[in-house]
Amino acid sequence: MDIEYFIKKQNILLAKVPLEFIRERFFKILNSNERLIGLIGARGVGKSTLLLQYLKNSNLKGLYFLADDIMFQDLKLVDVAQEFYSLGGRLLIIDEIHKYKNWAQEVKNIYDSYPDMLIRFSGSSQLNILYEKFDLSRRAAVYKVPVFSFREFLELKKKIKLQSCTLDEILKNGSQISTSLALEYEFIYAEFKEYLKYGAYPFFLEGVESFNKKLFKALEKVIYEDIPSVNRIEFSHLIIFKKIIYKMVKANKPYKVNIASLSKELGISEPTLYTYLEILESSGIAAALKKYSKKISKKPNKLLFANSNIYNAYTQEFDIETDIGTQRETFFATVFKALEKELYYSDIGDFRYKDYIFEIGGKNKSFKQIEDIKNSYLVIDTNYTVTENKIPLWLFGFLY
């Protein structure tokens, strides 16, 4: 085996990896003493860059490679690990691991055979479906990498480092925080409008004109490559995912799910439809929200796209005008989903999180719909606010 083949490819990538901006939270995670760490997330969120940045800053002798490298037609992960270890290697980084057929079993073998070797890997956002089958759940620390927040977008694009805010800080001091930031950085609201179109993925730096086309192609690969690679789904059934997506786009508002009628229309059973909706969510394309009630149903009540960039990419691809209200709600839901906070749709206001009610709207939106409702907040699309319980939408992009 020629380890030099992998080292040469690795060095080419390391020479180009940027270090000006690093997602500090995940960089710290990778630098921890955990032996086996996985980063999972949707295509394009920057997992590969994080792994390469970590390797470039590591003091250990490391090896980075893609799990679908052509060399693995004749090699196994365990063979590469064994030879690299014999040469003094103590850090193994495997990118897009879900593309390697027997990855979970072999990673388990590497983990058990080389107790002083650190293993880092990235994979599809659905990877958790598989890793538990080989008892990796007690060995691996797996972290979800979300899309870029608005705060991270500003840091990457404008080279300004701003502090994140807790939800409590935003709810208690949203007016003061937004006023201070909007006055200091007059471009902040205009940049938020741009973020909604293309700011959730770092490849916007390659050119915003081609952003939607690139994102659409990435989404197509999720459907036709990633989803079947980690799920036993017949190729003929993949078109069902496209049909669901088209319905979401055509609705041009949060799509209300009727499981019985939709399963009948698609020609699949209700349990299969539930599974497919879960896959769309876990793959980073959609976000399913339940309705808040005294007895919360397990059924998804509405479907949104996982972020506003995806929504925009699909509306452009299908030549459907973007609805600003849906765009706002999509952004708001994205933030809570990224933080794995359980957000619900609500008959009172638009959303409910714990005991908090949120009504989303434009700058002229009034408190009429949530008047006299305890713990209610008006989240409006404007640059800053001066009214208590009235918070600019963009400020929720500072939650991480």
Question: What is the reported pTM?
Answer: 0.93
pLDDT score at 229: 81
Q: How far is CA 139 from CA 59, 99, 134, 145, 203, in A?
A: 23, 21, 10, 19, 32
**From the CB of residue 270, how many other CB atoms can be counted at a distance below 10 Å?**
13
Query: 145 with 47: CB under 8 angstroms?
Result: yes
Q: Is the pLDDT of residue 255 over 60?
A: yes
- Per DSSP, the residues of 67-126 read TT-GGGGT--HHHHHHHHHHTT--EEEEESGGGSTTHHHHHHHHHHH-TT-EEEEEE-TT
HEC sequence for 17-53: CCCCCCCHHHHHHHCCCCCEEEEECCCCCCHHHHHHH
What domains appear along the chain, each with residue ranges and CATH number?
3-144 (3.40.50.300), 151-398 (no CATH)
344-371 mean pLDDT: 94
Sheet (strand 255-256) strand order? 255-256, 302-305, 286-289
- Sorted by sequence, the CB contacts under 8 Å of residue 400 that are 6+ apart come out as 25, 146, 149, 151, 152, 164, 335, 338, 339
Question: Between β-strands 91-95 and 62-66, what pairing exists: parallel, antiparallel or unpaired?
Answer: parallel
Q: Is the pLDDT of residue 231 over 90?
A: no
pLDDT cut 90: percent of the chain above it:
87
pLDDT score at 360: 98
In sequence order, the β-bridge partners of residue 285 are none
pLDDT digits (tens, 9 = 90+) for 169-216: 999 999 999 999 999 999 999 999 999 999 999 999 999 999 999 999
Q: How far is CA 200 from CA 120, 175, 193, 215, 247, in A?
A: 24, 25, 12, 11, 23
pLDDT score at 377: 98
Q: Which of 91 and 135 is assigned the larger pLDDT?
A: 91
First-to-last alpha carbon distance for the chain, in angstroms, is: 43
pLDDT digits (tens, 9 = 90+) for 260-296: 999 999 999 999 999 999 999 999 999 999 999 888 7
d(CA 197, CA 205): 13
If pLDDT is split at 50, 70 and 90, which confidence band does 232 have?
Answer: confident
Residue 64's H or E segment, with its range, is strand 62-66
Enter the DSSP assignment of 149.
P
Of 52-61, 66-75, 102-111, the range with the highest mean pLDDT is 52-61
- Sorted by sequence, the CB contacts under 8 Å of residue 63 that are 6+ apart come out as 3, 6, 7, 10, 80, 84, 89, 91, 92, 93
Helix runs in 138-231, H state only: 150-158, 167-184, 188-198, 211-221, 227-230
Query: 99 with 69: CB under 8 angstroms?
Result: no
pLDDT score at 303: 96
Q: Which of 144, 112, 103 is nearest to 126 (CA)?
A: 144
d(CA 64, CA 11): 9
d(CA 333, CA 372): 24
Q: Is residue 54 classed as helix, strand or coil in its secondary structure?
A: helix
Query: 158 with 192: CB under 8 angstroms?
Result: no
Q: Is the pLDDT of residue 13 over 80?
A: yes
Q: Is the pLDDT of residue 312 over 80?
A: yes
d(CA 101, CA 316): 35
pLDDT digits (tens, 9 = 90+) for 73-117: 889 999 999 999 999 999 999 999 988 988 989 999 999 999 999
pLDDT score at 133: 57
227-254 mean pLDDT: 92
pLDDT score at 131: 56
115-144 mean pLDDT: 81
If pLDDT is split at 50, 70 and 90, which confidence band does 6 have?
Answer: very high
d(CA 202, CA 152): 10
**From the CB of residue 384, how many other CB atoms can be counted at a distance below 10 Å?**
21
Mean pLDDT over each residue of the chain, to the nearest integer: 94
Q: Which of 355, 346, 343 is nearest to 288 (CA)?
A: 343
Query: 362 with 380: CB under 8 angstroms?
Result: yes
Q: Which tokens hold the place of 245?
A: 């997506």
Q: State CA 260 to chain mean position distance.
A: 29
- Sorted by sequence, the CB contacts under 8 Å of residue 84 that are 6+ apart come out as 3, 63, 92
